[in-house]
């Protein structure tokens, strides 16, 4: 599949960042939806019904969760909904598998599920999962990648970042996560996946980090689905959504993020597959064993193998 010039350029550029260990990914709810979990609206639909509201008419879903907390006096039902939805098994998507096979050392996510770490383990890697600030001070021996779950983990629903109170206090309660994310945003090139332009998490995250970074912004990428005609009620609504997305894409530039537009979510899989194939082309496995080296001595044979390895390394393999 041939993509437009921007995406083709991105594939080459990001594959190079992957090879140089300068790449990171930030995964939003959209990637988990592809694996069988609900999106934010689906998650909060019963909460909206409790409040006598229609979740499809609500734009601030974080405020919706807060309203329920206010009405109930606690977040017990919110926690129960999280457990019911994300504690169940979901099938890994091809996107999770492709991401896990790349030599990426930092996976950031606002998702509560365990799909990223599960994919890494399936790929034979050892993930070091961080969902609380105190875990950042410790390193799992032999880790291959760090999974930063900055909004918590389903095993601890009471600590999940979910309502407005949590977001407003985040900079105090989770300062170490913000510091770590700020460091990665300066030193690594990020690919944002699974975020829509109406996702409430994106604004909160980028707003927090931009305050601390100022103008020291590295170039990053976000893959977004282009607004489609069926998304709108009529042509006037369609033109409105197009303009809204255009403005959002322009706003992303403040954070050094270049938007890459696709028409179908399935195209994300093809983009990741292309990046993975470029990485595999530069990976060479040399293996063998011998008891008899013929006219060669064991020392000469080992020296020859070292020379092959050095030549491959110098060629970027």
Q: Which residues are tagged catalytic?
A: 151
> Is the torsion defined by CA of 186, 215, 108, 258 positive or negative?
negative
Q: Are 190 and 205 in contact (CB under 8 A)?
A: no
Q: Are 170 and 179 in contact (CB under 8 A)?
A: no
> Is the torsion defined by CA of 213, 182, 185, 63 positive or negative?
negative
Question: How many Cβ atoms sit within 10 Å of the Cβ of residue 147?
Answer: 21
Token pair listed for 313: 């390394």
Token pair listed for 22: 């300068």
Q: Are 87 and 156 in contact (CB under 8 A)?
A: no
CA distance 128 to 85: 24
Beta-ladder partners of 128: 146
Token pair listed for 287: 């293996």
CA distance 171 to 211: 11
CA distance 209 to 198: 19
């Amino acid at each position: 599949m041939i993509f437009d010039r921007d995406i083709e350029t991105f594939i080459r550029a990001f594959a190079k960042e992957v090879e140089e260990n300068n790449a990171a990914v930030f995964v939003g709810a959209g990637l988990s939806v592809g694996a069988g979990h609900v999106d934010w609206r689906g998650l909060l639909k019963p909460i909206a019904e409790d409040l006598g509201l229609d979740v499809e008419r609500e734009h601030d879903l974080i405020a919706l969760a807060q309203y329920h907390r206010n009405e109930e006096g606690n977040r017990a039902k919110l926690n129960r909904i999280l457990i019911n939805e994300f504690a169940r098994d979901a099938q890994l998507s091809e996107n999770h598998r492709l991401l896990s096979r790349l030599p990426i050392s930092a996976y950031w996510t606002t998702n509560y599920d365990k799909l990223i770490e599960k994919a890494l383990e399936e790929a034979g890697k050892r993930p070091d999962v961080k969902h609380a600030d105190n875990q950042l001070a410790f390193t799992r021996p032999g880790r291959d990648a760090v999974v930063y779950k900055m909004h918590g983990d389903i095993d601890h629903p009471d600590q999940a970042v979910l309502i407005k109170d949590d977001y407003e206090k985040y900079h105090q309660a989770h300062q170490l996560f913000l510091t770590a994310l700020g460091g990665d945003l300066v030193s690594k090139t990020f690919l944002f996946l699974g975020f829509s332009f109406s996702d409430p998490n994106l604004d909160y995250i980028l707003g927090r980090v931009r305050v601390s970074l100022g103008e020291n912004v590295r170039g990053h990428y976000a893959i977004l689905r282009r607004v489609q005609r069926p998304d709108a009620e009529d042509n006037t609504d369609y033109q409105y959504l197009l303009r809204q997305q255009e403005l959002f894409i322009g706003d992303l530039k403040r954070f050094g993020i270049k938007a890459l537009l696709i028409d179908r979510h399935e195209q994300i899989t093809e983009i990741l597959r292309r990046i993975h194939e470029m990485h595999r082309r530069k990976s060479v496995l040399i293996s063998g064993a011998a008891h008899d080296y013929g006219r060669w001595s064991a020392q000469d044979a080992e020296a020859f193998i070292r020379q092959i390895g050095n030549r491959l390394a110098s060629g970027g393999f």
